[in-house]
Chains A and B, each alone.
Chain A
Amino acid sequence: MGWLRSLLRGSKSLADKRARNAEIDEELEAFIGESVSEKMRGGMCLKDAVKAAHAEAGTAATVREKVWSAGWESTLDRLWGDLTYSLRRLSHAPALVFTVVLSIGLGIAANSTVFSMVSKFVLAPPPVGDPAAFVSLFRTYDHGQCCNYFPAPVYRDVREQAKSFSDVAAYYDAVPASIGSGGESKREWGQAATENYFEAARLKMAAGRGFAASEESSPVIVLGYRLWQQRFGGDAGVIGKTVDVSGHPFTVVGVAREGFRGLDPVLDPQFWVPLGTLPELVAQATDPQSRLAQWLHIVARLKPGVTKDEASRELDVIAQRLATAHPRTDKGNGIVLKRLDYLGRNEAALHMFLLALSVVALLVLAIACANVANLLLSHGAQRQREMAVRLALGATHAQLLRQILLESILLALAGGAAGVLLSLWATYGLSSFKLPAPVATDISVHVDWRVLLYTFALSVAAGLLCGFVPAWTASRPAVPGALKGESALARPGRRLTLRSVLVVAQVSLSLVLLCGAGLFLRSLESAMKIDVGFRSRGIAMMAVDPQLLRYAPERTVQMLRDARERIAHLPGVISATTTDGVPLSGGHRSDGFVVPGYPAPQSADSVELYMAGPQYFETLGIPRIAGRDLGDENPTAPKAAIVNEEFVRRYLHGDNPIGHTVTGGGVPYQIVGVVKDTKARTIGEQQRPVLYRAIAQNIASDPSGDGYTIMARYEGDSAALIKAMQDQIHAVDPALAVFNVQTMEEHMQEALLLPRFVSTLFTVFGVSGLLLALIGLYSVMSYSVSQRTKEIGIRMALGAKATEVQRMVVRGGMRLALVSVVLGLPLALAAAKLTTSLLYGVKPWDVATFTLVPLLLVAVSLVACWVPSRRAARVDPMVALRVD
């Protein structure tokens, strides 16, 4: 209880300092009074007694100070005093505060924005209960190569045999379905999970419950929080009601809690159905008896007390047992246990990418800190006199140091706050980037508590870092000189000052950043110029999935034909076609091919498969080189196909392919034409072999898993056309949900995600760095001019011309800039080497970048030196010599 009393008393005396001081004074007076009485009793006269008593007791102020320092509140009080003093001082230098807060704000914003990505993709624990005991399993192949998903029978084997886990659940990660009925139905992405999924993940539900043990294949559904809010108004009454899922009645049993988007960090599923209902919802669901199709994610919860090593050993035993029992399918395959949020092969790449970004962001902060240190140094130099006076009056070095450091930490915290505001805006901007994938994804990033904590720590560290050197020098003035107003830092004749070193470091680092920005901008430019081989503008696209309405294949073919013809006749539409997938959407469908009479190609790449309706090549503007076009082929005739030139090169050694029959995935196709190459998966890829097959002939045998897209090449207003296209589709069947509505321009923007993302980031970083370096150079030059006013005055009095003085100042500044460029260029070249894998069509030692950027930097430095040099040239010798 002692500390409580101490706290109460301390707070009381802080709250009413005057009362406490009066009490101390009164007690001291009584002490002295009694002492005087005692001394007079001993025979002294009043005067002597008073004198002696006061001499013994010391001054009231000292005693007061000592009593105060006995309690904890004095430390707080001193700190508060320092704080208010700092604030008062800083309020007199608004320009300094503004520059420093802006500098640190930029640096911190870069870091907290990057860290918000780290927080989302690396640090945030998976959204399940007790994540440490919840693990993912993967299937290895070729004796240890990672990672594949699981065939359903292997899942069942593991679930039955493994004793290390209390729960083993599985899910299939991307199930499309139209939810709702009539014209209101919308296509959503969800997941199909085993009945124990919610129990194993220990998920809290926003409403209702997860699946029950008996609901292995019951028509029940758990809604995602966003879907629940958007479509059902967040009404808890929806539990127990029936909703239409792709034409089937499903009973809503629960709503997942807010923010739960499945166990994958990128996908954005909005409903969950039992795995057993999958065949009803998806055309051609994977065969649950096949030991070959690898499609299920397995997650498992360790039993209490079982370690991951023990569980791994058990999985090895199970894998061996399975390999013996099913040698044809399971031999050479293993089962490995990984962290729940393990990203497989992509993980190392993602971590490297984030690490590189963090380093770049720290670089920006380093530039900002150098800048601030510089500003504080010159600010501190102006305070040498004040410091000397305070030292002379008895302040200790430590006290001064503490005070100045407090000031820089205050500034850095204000900068941190500005940085958080900036990064709120930046993360909002970043979240608008979308992955070019047909499934629903969520890569939005947010400023969460981890980011705030990191930002706070970084701000304090930045404050200490950029405050320490200026604080050290300022708290140690050469007292005798400083009292007269001389600055210890402005010793004439000293060439290499701390301030110049800081400026050089700053400018060369910003050169590195700017070269990065230049490279990525050039890369974006060349990526945008890459010839994708098809028309990249003036096409409107939208998708439907008739299978969600349980259409038979013949009806799907008929529906697509009707919709295409109606749309082709709309005013403004030049041509229209149908397909099963838009190029440049990441991966699409592909298969290995065999051409009778020709050896298999060296690089056994699979062939990209696209379905094409009538006018496909005309609409996409892909030139046909030989043969005929695909039309409304007869579904029962032999399958016709058109291949691209790369296919001919790779599989037919350049021979005329027309008339050949090629086989892919066990299906023979007769080649009827050849077209020019196009990019298939990504913009930066090497040319891939592509085979286009007639849509009408393949919907029945190989239906698309994520619907069919209708594309229209148009002239005029896209918005009006898109509305008209939707109306035409609904005229065929009003129940069809239309999704993925976009123009080709929008799609191309998404396809350029990586180069756009990287170049945006680097441009922002680079420009911030340049801005900071400029401020640094400018402040150093103008400070040096103000320090040398007297010297310049003497020079001019002795006959130097204004232009000569100006040239002298500019030369001094440009020397710093040139040294920075010389030091920065090799650094920038070395850093550029690391970015090779991120560049499209640009060499890391791109000549244009590495000549233009240094030139730009030098030009901008010239401006930064020229402004202060003007001031130097206007120095009036008469005034300058009268200073002091």
Chain B
Amino acid sequence: MPEKSSELVQGTLEMLVLKTLALMPMHGYGIALRIEQISDGAFKVNPGSLLPALSRMERAGQVKGEWRETENNRRAKYYALTEKGRKALKSETAAWGRQVAAINRILEA
């Protein structure tokens, strides 16, 4: 193992995906790469968990998929955030903030 990649905290993947897509529409690998880069390689997202999550979020109406050409001339499904997704991101971020603060309080107590 060259570097230690940590497991994602349960249930946070969808929030991270929402946050990533808030910048611009991306395809699956783009999302995975972006999360890996921004987390400095701490989080690796494989398609086995990313694609089901995207499928779930598409069902829930938080993202909208569209097949387009990539810069490498491949057809890939690009996901864009919907209005509903934007709201979900906002509420999930807020909830996450509260949770982290609470956990920190407990750990420092």
Indicate if the CB atoms of A34 and B46 lie closer than 8 Å.
no
- Bound-state CA distance A331–B44 (Å) is 94
Indicate if the CB atoms of A66 and B76 lie closer than 8 Å.
no
A808 contacts the other chain (CB 8 A): no
Indicate if the CB atoms of B47 and A58 lie closer than 8 Å.
yes
- Bound-state CA distance A66–B72 (Å) is 27
Assess A70 versus B76: contact at CB under 8 Å? Given A5-B61, A57-B48: no
B97 contacts the other chain (CB 8 A): no
Indicate if the CB atoms of B53 and A34 lie closer than 8 Å.
no
Interface residues of B in 48-100 (CB under 8 A from A): 48-53, 55-56, 58-61, 70, 72, 74-77
Please, which residue of chain A has its CB at the minimum distance from the CB of B50?
Answer: A31
- Bound-state CA distance A67–B49 (Å) is 8
A62 contacts the other chain (CB 8 A): yes
Label chain A's interface by main secondary structure. helix
What 0/1 readout, one digit per residue, does chain A (5-44) give for beta carbons within 8 Å of chain B? 1100110000000000000101110111111011000000
B42 contacts the other chain (CB 8 A): no
Inter-chain CB contacts under 8 Å: number: 81
Assess A31 versus B55: contact at CB under 8 Å? Given A37-B72, A62-B48: no
- Bound-state CA distance A30–B44 (Å) is 18
- Bound-state CA distance A2–B58 (Å) is 10
Please, which residue of chain A has its CB at the minimum distance from the CB of B32?
Answer: A31
Contact of A30 among B27, B33, B46 (CB under 8 A): B27
- Bound-state CA distance A202–B95 (Å) is 58
Indicate if the CB atoms of B74 and A33 lie closer than 8 Å.
yes
- Bound-state CA distance A37–B72 (Å) is 8
Q: Shortest Cβ distance from B4 into chain A, in angstroms?
A: 16
Chain A residues near B72 (CB-CB < 8 A): 33-34, 37
Indicate if the CB atoms of B30 and A70 lie closer than 8 Å.
no
- Bound-state CA distance A56–B46 (Å) is 6
Chain B residues near A63 (CB-CB < 8 A): 47-48, 51
Chain B residues near A57 (CB-CB < 8 A): 46-48
Indicate if the CB atoms of B60 and A2 lie closer than 8 Å.
yes
Label chain B's interface by main secondary structure. helix
Give the interface centre of B51, B53, B56, B58 by most chain A CB atoms within 10 Å: B51
Give the interface centre of A24, A26, A34 by most chain B CB atoms within 10 Å: A34
Give the interface centre of B27, B28, B48, B58 by most chain A CB atoms within 10 Å: B48
Chain A residues near B44 (CB-CB < 8 A): 56
Indicate if the CB atoms of A66 and B29 lie closer than 8 Å.
no
Give the interface centre of A6, A28, A67, A69 by most chain B CB atoms within 10 Å: A67
Indicate if the CB atoms of A6 and B48 lie closer than 8 Å.
no
Indicate if the CB atoms of B59 and A9 lie closer than 8 Å.
yes
Please, which residue of chain B has its CB at the minimum distance from the CB of A56?
Answer: B46
Assess A27 versus B48: contact at CB under 8 Å? Given A34-B27, A35-B29, A70-B55: no
Indicate if the CB atoms of A28 and B47 lie closer than 8 Å.
yes
Assess A58 versus B46: contact at CB under 8 Å? Given A67-B51, A70-B52, A71-B59: yes
Chain A residues near B74 (CB-CB < 8 A): 30, 33-34
Contact of B29 among A24, A38, A58 (CB under 8 A): A38
Assess A70 versus B47: contact at CB under 8 Å? Given A9-B59, A34-B30: no
- Bound-state CA distance A63–B54 (Å) is 12
Q: Number of A residues whose C-beta is below 8 Å from B? A: 28
Chain A residues near B51 (CB-CB < 8 A): 24, 27-28, 31, 63, 66-67
Please, which residue of chain A has its CB at the minimum distance from the CB of B75?
Answer: A30
Q: Shortest Cβ distance from A357 into chain B, in angstroms?
A: 53
Contact of B28 among A1, A9, A31 (CB under 8 A): A31
Indicate if the CB atoms of A2 and B61 lie closer than 8 Å.
yes
Please, which residue of chain A has its CB at the minimum distance from the CB of B67?
Answer: A26
Please, which residue of chain B has its CB at the minimum distance from the CB of A1?
Answer: B61
- Bound-state CA distance A10–B33 (Å) is 29
Q: Shortest Cβ distance from B14 into chain A, in angstroms?
A: 11
Please, which residue of chain A has its CB at the minimum distance from the CB of B72?
Answer: A37
Chain A residues near B30 (CB-CB < 8 A): 34
Chain A residues near B49 (CB-CB < 8 A): 66
Chain B residues near A28 (CB-CB < 8 A): 47, 51
Chain B residues near A32 (CB-CB < 8 A): 29, 47
Chain A residues near B55 (CB-CB < 8 A): 67, 70-71
Indicate if the CB atoms of B61 and A30 lie closer than 8 Å.
no
Give the interface centre of B55, B60, B77 by most chain A CB atoms within 10 Å: B55
Q: Shortest Cβ distance from B2 into chain A, in angstroms?
A: 12
Q: Shortest Cβ distance from B62 into chain A, in angstroms?
A: 10
Chain B residues near A56 (CB-CB < 8 A): 44, 46
Please, which residue of chain B has its CB at the minimum distance from the CB of A6?
Answer: B59
What 0/1 readout, one digit per residue, does chain B (6-50) give for beta carbons within 8 Å of chain A? 000000000000000000000111101100000000001011111
- Bound-state CA distance A66–B13 (Å) is 15
Indicate if the CB atoms of A66 and B56 lie closer than 8 Å.
no
- Bound-state CA distance A1–B82 (Å) is 15
Indicate if the CB atoms of B48 and A58 lie closer than 8 Å.
yes
Chain B residues near A38 (CB-CB < 8 A): 29, 33
Chain A residues near B58 (CB-CB < 8 A): 9
- Bound-state CA distance A24–B77 (Å) is 10
Please, which residue of chain B has its CB at the minimum distance from the CB of A41?
Answer: B72
Q: Shortest Cβ distance from A510 into chain B, in angstroms?
A: 55
Interface residues of A in 38-96 (CB under 8 A from B): 38, 56-58, 62-63, 66-67, 69-71
Chain A residues near B46 (CB-CB < 8 A): 56-58
Q: Shortest Cβ distance from A56 into chain B, in angstroms?
A: 6
Q: Shortest Cβ distance from A41 into chain B, in angstroms?
A: 10
Indicate if the CB atoms of B52 and A31 lie closer than 8 Å.
no
Q: Shortest Cβ distance from A395 into chain B, in angstroms?
A: 21
Please, which residue of chain B has its CB at the minimum distance from the CB of A9?
Answer: B59
Please, which residue of chain B has its CB at the minimum distance from the CB of A23?
Answer: B77
Give the interface centre of B44, B56, B72 by most chain A CB atoms within 10 Å: B72
Please, which residue of chain B has its CB at the minimum distance from the CB of A53?
Answer: B29
Indicate if the CB atoms of A26 and B70 lie closer than 8 Å.
no
Indicate if the CB atoms of A26 and B28 lie closer than 8 Å.
no
Indicate if the CB atoms of A27 and B76 lie closer than 8 Å.
yes
Chain B residues near A71 (CB-CB < 8 A): 55-56, 59
- Bound-state CA distance A31–B70 (Å) is 11
Please, which residue of chain A has its CB at the minimum distance from the CB of B51?
Answer: A67
Indicate if the CB atoms of B75 and A70 lie closer than 8 Å.
no
Indicate if the CB atoms of B29 and A30 lie closer than 8 Å.
yes
Chain B residues near A5 (CB-CB < 8 A): 59, 61
- Bound-state CA distance A648–B64 (Å) is 102
Indicate if the CB atoms of A66 and B28 lie closer than 8 Å.
no
Chain B residues near A35 (CB-CB < 8 A): 29
- Bound-state CA distance A27–B74 (Å) is 10
- Bound-state CA distance A28–B75 (Å) is 11
Please, which residue of chain B has its CB at the minimum distance from the CB of A37?
Answer: B72
Q: Shortest Cβ distance from A16 into chain B, in angstroms?
A: 15
Contact of B77 among A30, A62, A66 (CB under 8 A): A30
Q: Shortest Cβ distance from B22 into chain A, in angstroms?
A: 20
Indicate if the CB atoms of A31 and B60 lie closer than 8 Å.
no
Chain A residues near B60 (CB-CB < 8 A): 2, 6
Q: Shortest Cβ distance from B57 into chain A, in angstroms?
A: 10
Q: Shortest Cβ distance from B54 into chain A, in angstroms?
A: 8
Give the interface centre of B46, B47, B48 by most chain A CB atoms within 10 Å: B47
Give the interface centre of A1, A62, A63, A69 by most chain B CB atoms within 10 Å: A63
Q: Shortest Cβ distance from B87 into chain A, in angstroms?
A: 13
Q: Which 10 A-B pairs have the closest CB atoms?
A: A34-B29, A30-B76, A70-B52, A31-B29, A70-B56, A31-B28, A66-B52, A67-B52, A6-B59, A57-B47
The interface of chain A, by Cβ under 8 A from chain B, is: 1-2, 5-6, 9-10, 24, 26-28, 30-35, 37-38, 56-58, 62-63, 66-67, 69-71
A-B contact pairs, 19 of them (CB 8 A): A2-B59, A2-B60, A2-B61, A5-B61, A10-B59, A26-B75, A27-B77, A30-B29, A30-B77, A31-B76, A34-B72, A34-B74, A34-B76, A38-B29, A56-B46, A57-B46, A63-B48, A67-B51, A70-B52
7 further A-B pairs in the complex, CB-CB below 8 A; given A27-B51, A31-B28, A32-B47: A5-B61, A6-B59, A30-B29, A57-B48, A58-B46, A63-B51, A66-B48
